[in-house]
Structure 1
Amino acid sequence: MEDTAIEPQVGRIVKVLRGREQEKYAVIVRIIDDRFVWIADGDKRKFDQPKKKNLLHLELLDHVSGEVADSIKETGRVTNGKLRYALNKYLESVQSEAHEKGD
């Protein structure tokens, strides 16, 4: 049996399933351990004050923002504008796919 589970990684876009920010999208900016990650969206939740979330409370999406991942890998941080841009780009691509399918 093939293991197709999506792994948490820096730059991965997630959907929040539990808590105050439920149904919102964010980006993983740091991995703490195999249960917890730090997330930020560049808007309400800035990079400098990310939210610690249990992975069980997140839906890991199959999209990773290369710009965010590269920026964090190279400089150890990412701008809030880049986080917002990555999320907007992802949401636009999802909406256009849904639109093409005739939703």
Structure 2
Amino acid sequence: MIESDSGPEIGQVVCIRKGRDTGQFAIVIQLINERFVFIADGDKRKFDRPKKKNIQHLECFDYISPEVRNSLLDTGKVTNGKLQWALGKFMEDVLEATEKGDEFDGERRCH
């Protein structure tokens, strides 16, 4: 999987590296400042109750969901179903790009 060198962007897929949700994937739904973002996955962490995370505790992937990004920029919100769909699409794309069992175990977890 390709990691992004720049800071996180709205709609970008991230992997949580520190905290209770370590290893889980989520999507950046709001930039707070240069240190913090709000993330959600539409399942455990819903859009209306996002998690505030230090960007140093996240691994940012070079993958931005245009559906989530456009929805957030146009209306200021996104459905939990769309977040789940975008993460599922990311998983499919990652599975196609990597060999089975390489960096992904198929359960919305990263290593």
What TM-score does the superposition give when structure 2 sets the normalisation length? 0.84
Larger of the two Rg values belongs to structure: 1
CA RMSD of aligned residues (A): 1.6
Letter in 1 for 2:22: Q
Letter in 1 for 2:90: Y
The aligned counterpart of 1:38 is 38
Q: How does 1:1-103 map to 2 (within 5 A)?
A: 5-99=5-99
Q: For residues 17-40 of structure 1, what are the alpha-carbon distances to aligned partners after superposition, in whole Å with 9 as ceiling and x for unaligned?
A: 011111000000000000000000
More helix by share: 1
* Runs of 4+ residues deviating >2 angstroms: 4-7
User: Aligned partners of 2:78, 2:98: CA distance in 1, in Å?
Assistant: 29
Which range moves more in the overlay, 14-23 or 90-99? Answer: 90-99
Letter in 1 for 2:19: G
Letter in 1 for 2:51: K
Report the secondary structure of 1:30's partner residue.
Answer: strand
What TM-score does the superposition give when structure 1 sets the normalisation length? 0.90
The answer for unaligned runs of 5 or more in structure 2 is 103-111
| Percent of aligned positions that are identical | 48
**Alpha-carbon shift at residue 96 of structure 1 (Å):** 1.5
Letter in 1 for 2:29: V
What is the count of residue pairs matched by the alignment?
A: 99
Letter in 2 for 1:38: F
Report the secondary structure of 2:38's partner residue.
Answer: strand
Report the secondary structure of 1:99's partner residue.
Answer: coil
